Amino acid sequence: MENYIVSARKYRPSTFTGVVGQKSLTTTLKNAILNNKLAHAYLFSGPRGVGKTTCARIFAKTINCFSRNGEGEACNACESCLSFNEQRSLNIHELDAASNNSVDDIRSLIDQVRIPPQIGSYKVYIIDEVHMLSQQAFNAFLKTLEEPPKYAIFILATTEKQKVLATILSRCQIYDFTRISIADMVEHLQYVASNENITADPEAFNVIAQKADGGLRDALSIFDRVASYTGGNITYLSVIENLNVLDYEYYFRITDALLKGEVRPCMLLLNEILEKGFDGQHIITGLATHFRDLLVSKDESTLVLFDAGASIRDRYRETAKQCPDKLLFKAIELANQCDLNYRESRNKRLLLELTFIQLCLLNESDSLQTEDSKKKS
């Protein structure tokens, strides 16, 4: 029986070109290698699962490659690259600062730094979650980080840059990794699915990407989970069922009821959602986001602020045409106010129902105000 490898590991990039959603950073790193302008210390900062450690490993492999191509990418065929890919390279050392954060751990690393590389030009030390180092460990590391041997390069990775000492930050070139866009994640998930012979709806990938919240590793983990649940045929309904995500169709039905001023059908919709087990605050925050997405979908210039798949974007664009700006402004305000008051409310269901009633009366109140203004004039 063949050993199963999770997608996050199986499809981990081996070159800068394969890194998803960080093109400006990977281009900068490749140019630094091509122009032989390597710093002695780098700090890779950003959310989890966006490629910090992956880029650190690719960078470490590439600078030691014996036959890089014209674009500054590793060949993956020389002895240095092969030893790295087979996890037997003596030039690349990784330290997990989450579990190795004492002074002794850093002193052991400093002792290794004194030994020059036997093969290749550089020894690279990757310290993951560097913000977890103790104060004493940081202090012990300072001198070596400031004046390392010419063959030593340090790459520090962290999800919490603000916790790293300013004296450490000042000695590093800092690269800020960004959250990966939904469009980039969907494209990568489609690539993985095609390689694994898995069929999927575009809307399903969109939900997975939104649930991952900018982290590609999380998206691939969710993809594996849903693929197992569906037996390789991923549909939109199976994804929202497995991930316990509220179907956006409910938000559109609520919007239709709001535009028609139908209070009772809207309250029945709320009851239907609550009976499915969704938390009230989750419902209202989702509704606030829905109204916001409708607002930015009303104009082509603001549509770039709506990060979603093409089919869903078209649906929002069509519904937004029916919604006046003033109504959406007020709807967002009401939903946000309900969200703020939800935790302290003693009767949470009544608060939700009252908010839904106020939303359904928005069109009516606007028309009443218009009539009053006409009478006064």
The three-class DSSP label of residue 137 is helix
Q: Which residues of 160-170 are buried (b: 16+ CB within 10 A; e: fewer)?
A: ebeebbeebee
Tokens 């300072």 locate to 142
Report DSSP letters for 89-158, one per residue. -SSEEEEETTT--SHHHHHHHHHHHTSPPSSSS-EEEEEETGGGS-HHHHHHHHHHHHS--TTEEEEEEE
Percent residues over pLDDT 90 in the chain:
18
Structure-block tokens of residue 195: 């390689």
- Tell me what the pLDDT averaged over the chain comes to: 85
Judged against a pLDDT cut of 70, whether residue 352 lies above it is answered with yes
Q: Give the largest CA-CA distance in the chain.
A: 90
Domains of the chain, start order: 7-176 (3.40.50.300), 182-243 (1.10.8.60), 248-366 (1.20.272.10)
Q: What residues contact residue 185 under an 8 Å CB cut-off, 6+ apart?
A: 20, 21, 205, 208, 209, 212, 216, 219
- What pLDDT, on the 0 to 100 scale, is given for residue 221? 92
pLDDT tens digits for range 114-161: 888 877 788 898 988 888 888 888 888 888 888 888 888 999 999 998
The helix (run of H) or strand (run of E) holding residue 373 is helix 362-376
Cα–Cα distance measured from residue 92 to residue 250, given in angstroms and rounded to the nearest whole number: 52
At residue 269, φ and ψ (nearest 5 deg) are -65, -45
C-alpha distance from residue 17 to each of 29, 58, 59, 109, 296 (Å): 11, 10, 12, 31, 33
The pLDDT tens digits for 80-94 are: 888 888 888 888 888
> DSSP assignment, residue 4?
P
More confident residue, 375 or 36: 36
The pTM assigned to this predicted structure is 0.79
pLDDT of residue 368: 39
* Contact by Cβ (8 Å): 157, 127: yes
DSSP characters over 236-255:
HHHHHHHHTPPPHHHHHHHH
Task: Please list the residues that pair with 41 across neighbouring strands.
Answer: 154
Residue 15's pLDDT band (boundaries 50, 70, 90)? confident
- Taking residues 198-222, what's their average pLDDT? 86
Three-class DSSP labels, 153-219: EEEEEECCHHHCCHHHHCCCEEEECCCCCHHHHHHHHHHHHHHCCCEECHHHHHHHHHHHCCCHHHH
> Which residue, chain included where needed, has tokens 């104060």?
135
Burial profile 271-307: b = 16 or more Cβ within 10 angstroms, e = fewer = eebeeeebebeebbbbbbebbbbbbbbbeeeebeebb
| pLDDT at position 86 | 84
**Residue 370 pLDDT:** 46
- Give me the torsion for CA of 235, 237, 240, 246, rounded to 10°: 150
pLDDT of residue 375: 45
**pLDDT over 60 at 376, yes or no:** no
Its sign, for the CA torsion 334, 336, 341, 347, is positive
> Do residues 160 and 133 make contact, with C-beta atoms less than 8 angstroms apart?
no
pLDDT tens-digit map of 219-256: 999 999 888 888 888 888 888 888 888 888 889 999 99
CA-wise closest residue to 7 among 222, 184, 183: 222
